[in-house]
Amino acid sequence: MTTRTVLILLDVDGVLNPRVVNQRLVLDPPRAELVRRLAKLGSIVWATTWSPTHTFHLTRDLGLSSDTEGIAFPRNLHFDPSAPAPTAKLHWVARWLARQDPQPDAVIWIDDILRHDAVGWADAQARPTLLVQPEMDIGLTAAHVDDVRHFIEGLASS
């Protein structure tokens, strides 16, 4: 059986909907458990504009691997949830992925703001790529994690 490298690019705001307590990101226990379930399916990569300090503490608080990475986005990255395009993070995600060595076998990008340009990008990828877009006022659900699991199980049969 071949081991596949699956990266799960995970946004925070609108997906994990954290509270900030004493300058730390805190997830409700059910949401924290969903992130732990994702971490069992692939390697989490923070794809958020929260600072590396915040994601470092979130990584530790969730008990994730100490080598959990994050994608660096510019501080002035502009989000307009009502705009149809473009996906503000897309350039930076694509650039970060292109620099990975070795390249991952599959990518899952979970973000509440994914536009038609991100869908086109995902469709054009040579590797299997899944976009998961939770509703920002609801965030990540067990059904989303199940979709990720089914996608990864489908990789094994291909």
At residue 78, what is the residue type?
Answer: H
Residue 125 has pLDDT above 90, yes or no: yes
Q: Average pLDDT, whole number, for the chain?
A: 93
100-to-51, 81, 105, 137, 152 alpha-carbon distances in Å: 21, 29, 11, 32, 20
pLDDT tens for 44-89 read 999 999 999 999 999 999 999 999 999 999 877 766 666 666 899 9
Question: Do 130 and 30 meet the contact criterion of CB atoms below 8 Å apart?
Answer: no
Question: Do 63 and 25 meet the contact criterion of CB atoms below 8 Å apart?
Answer: no
Residue 46, strand partner residues:
10, 70
Please tell me the least confidently modeled range out of 49-63, 75-89, 102-116, 141-155: 75-89
| CATH code at 6-156 | 3.40.50
Average confidence (pLDDT) over 29-43: 98
Q: How far apart are CA 115 and CA 91, in angstroms?
A: 13
User: Residue 16: what pLDDT?
Assistant: 97
Question: Do 68 and 45 meet the contact criterion of CB atoms below 8 Å apart?
Answer: yes
